[in-house]
């Protein structure tokens, strides 16, 4: 079956570092995505991992371990505007379907 | 500006009254998809289209129809809406094959069926 797990909520302090974990069990794997979604808005793309290891993009980094079915999103130097929901999504197979299976999201609250 | 545009953004309707949510993208993307987002359930795919005249069911297609007569447009049709279709709907598009397949989302359409 398909299962993507991530914590429901997290709280962190402005300027700190936070790590949001995601574990997945899917029938196939062809990439893992992280999206950011502010309340009432559309999800926006943050990162993509298809091979094991760390991908860094500014204050955001994402890590993937395919053997463990595990990924994390690391946010550094947190800002108030980082308060949002973070969605982990897995693409099960290649080809044209480009179907993403989404987790339910982690709501991050950044406090002063 | 590259974007996915949905209309209407907000709609309140009554059970059984047919409605269409339009979706248009200006990025020449082959792939388009509709998702619904409900609390505690995340984003679930309703239908997708790999190109003009090619559509297929996602995970929750019941009660919905789609069409893809032009590359840029992918309307979602609710022939006879019911209260369980009250949700936040997102249209998304992407290039297919050969890149990350990053999905670009529209701003969402919040539908309430009374």
- pLDDT tens for chain A, 112 residues: list them: 678 999 999 999 999 999 999 999 988 888 999 999 999 899 999 999 999 999 999 999 999 999 999 999 999 999 999 999 999 999 887 555 667 889 999 999 999 9
Quote the pLDDT of residue A40: 87
Torsion of CA A105, A109, A110, A111, to 10 degrees: -170
Q: Is A7 an 8 Å CB contact of chain B?
A: no
Closest listed residue to residue B25, CA positions, set B95, B83, B78, B88: B95
A96: closest chain B residue by CA? B96
Q: Is A41 in contact with B107 (Cβ distance < 8 A)?
A: yes
Nearest Cβ partner for A98 among B40, B96, B105:
B96
Q: Is A42 in contact with B106 (Cβ distance < 8 A)?
A: yes
Separation in Å, CA of A95 to nearest CA in chain B:
6
Do A39 and A84 form a contact (C-beta atoms < 8 A)? yes
Ranges under pLDDT 70 in chain B = 96-100
Quote the pLDDT of residue A70: 97
Q: Is B48 in contact with A98 (Cβ distance < 8 A)?
A: yes
Helical segments of A1-112, H only: none
Chain Cα centroid distance, residue A79: 17
Cis peptide preceding A70, ω within 30 of 0: no
Residue A112: CA count within 13 A, CB half-sphere = 0
């Amino acid at each position: 079956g398909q299962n993507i797990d991530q914590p429901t909520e997290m709280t962190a302090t402005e300027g700190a570092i936070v790590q949001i974990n995601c574990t997945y069990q899917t029938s196939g794997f062809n990439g893992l995505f992280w999206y950011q979604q502010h309340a009432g808005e559309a999800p926006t793309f943050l990162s993509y991992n298809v091979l094991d290891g760390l991908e860094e993009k500014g204050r955001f980094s994402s890590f993937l371990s395919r053997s463990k079915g595990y990924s994390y999103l690391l946010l550094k130097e947190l800002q108030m505007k980082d308060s949002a929901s973070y969605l982990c999504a897995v693409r099960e197979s290649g080809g044209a379907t480009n179907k993403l299976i989404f987790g339910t999201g982690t709501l991050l609250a950044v406090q002063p | 500006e590259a974007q996915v545009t949905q209309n209407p953004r907000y709609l309140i309707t009554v059970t059984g009254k047919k409605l269409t949510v339009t979706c248009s993208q200006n990025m020449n993307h082959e792939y388009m998809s509709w998702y619904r987002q409900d609390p505690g359930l995340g984003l679930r795919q309703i239908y997708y289209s790999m190109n003009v005249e090619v559509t297929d069911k996602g995970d929750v297609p019941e009660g919905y129809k789609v069409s893809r007569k032009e590359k840029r447009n992918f309307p979602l049709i609710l022939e006879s809406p019911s209260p369980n279709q009250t949700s936040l709907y997102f249209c998304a598009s992407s290039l297919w094959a050969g890149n990350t397949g990053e999905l670009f989302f529209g701003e969402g359409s919040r539908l309430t069926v009374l």
